[in-house]
Amino acid sequence: MTGFLTLFRKEVLRFWKVLMQTVAAPILTTLLYLLIFSHVLEAHVQVYPGVSYTSFLIPGLVMMAILQNAFANGSSSLIQSKISGNIVFFLLPPLSYLEFFLAYLLAAMVRGLVVGLGVAVSGLLFTDLSLVHPLWVMVFALVASAVFACFGIIAGIWAEKFDQLAGVQNFVIMPLTFLSGVFYSIHSLPAFWQAVSHYNPVFYMIDGFRYGFHGVSDVDPWQSLAAVLPIGLILAGLTLQLLRSGYKLRH
């Protein structure tokens, strides 16, 4: 237990010591999206009756921030440790692969949730935000951050260069999050893209999360949860398997 707690603490401290880069910067970037899109679209777009565009947008941006930062934490920490070689500090001690997994998972979730909370609180400066089903908000925040935390750990284990990690971030994470209904309802899309969106797990994360705030969504939150949860379990299982086998960590 001490081993797990120490590794978790170390992982949280690691991003906490560079808050400007790991928390403040992503909050600011997300707020810029909010500022620009709400300014341009507020008068033109109304997705759900009685919900202003800015209020609609905020949960999407909060979820995007959670996902991107949960991914970034585990992946960047692991690749830095691998490249600098200090990964031996936690490969030499008697840490179990489960302790290793939980420490990286929870630290990445903490980073995602801290940035998400920061975006949500700053968003309140722009508009009022309802909170119809807080429990759904929490459930989706936790599950979605866990899924992307696992994703980040896998990418961090797999990547051998920063370049490869940037590739995953730019060619997988960015399209997945941007094309998931952060800025729009997928009902406004042509039929084909609407259908494609239904294969994007991030769509369900955002839609379910939004349901928690506004009480309306494109699909039923239970259906969204049913779509997201198995992905989380599969990725968690895969991460554990990689850690157990020592893939790319122990030769």
Partner 1 sequence: MSRAISVRGLAKRFGSLEALRGVDLEIEPGEFFALLGPNGAGKTTLISILAGLVRASAGQAEVMGHDVVHDYRAARRNLGVVPQELVFDPFFTVRETLQFQSGYFGIKRNDDWIDALLHHLNLTDKAETNMRRLSGGMKRRVLVAQALVHKPPVIVLDEPTAGVDVELRQTLWQFIRDLNRQGHTILLTTHYLEEAEELCERVAMLKEGRIVALDRTANLLRADSQRRVELRLNPRRLPEALQPRLLGEKDGAFLLSLHDFGELEGMLAEIRQAGVQIDGFCVRQPDLEEVFLQTMHGAAR
- How far apart CA 99 and CA 11 sit, in angstroms, is 13
Instruction: Write down the least CB distance from residue 30 to partner 1, Å.
Output: 25
Q: Which is nearer to partner 1, 87 or 216 (CB)?
A: 87
The CA-based diameter of the chain, rounded to the nearest angstrom, is 59
> Phi/psi of residue 93, each to 5°?
-70, 165
Question: What is the end-to-end Cα distance of the chain in Å, rounded?
Answer: 26
C-alpha–C-alpha distance, residues 34 and 243, integer Å: 38
Nearest residue (CB) to partner 1, 22 versus 69:
22
Which residues are near partner 1 by CB under 8 A?
2-3, 5-7, 9-10, 13-14, 17-18, 81, 84-86, 88-96, 246, 250-251
Determine contact, residues 26/117, Cβ cutoff 8 Å.
no
99 vs 218, beta carbon nearer partner 1: 99
Q: How far is the CB of 251 from partner 1 (least distance, A)?
A: 5
Nearer to partner 1 by C-beta: 3 or 215? Answer: 3
Choice between 43 and 84, CB closer to partner 1 = 84
The nearest distance, CB 159 to partner 1, in angstroms, is 19
CA dihedral 164, 32, 118, 219 (to 10 degrees): -80
Q: Provide the minimum distance between the beta carbon of 162 and partner 1 in the complex, in angstroms, as a whole number.
A: 15
Residue 22 or 197: which CB sits closer to partner 1? 22
Measure Cα distances from 162 to 14, 26, 72, 135, 140 in Å. 18, 19, 12, 37, 30
Query: How far is residue 148's CA from residue 39's CA, in Å, rounded to a whole number?
Result: 30
The answer to whether residues 53 and 114 touch, using CB atoms and an 8 Å cutoff, is: no
Minimal distance, residue 170 CB to partner 1, in Å? 25
| Min separation Cβ 117 and partner 1, Å | 23
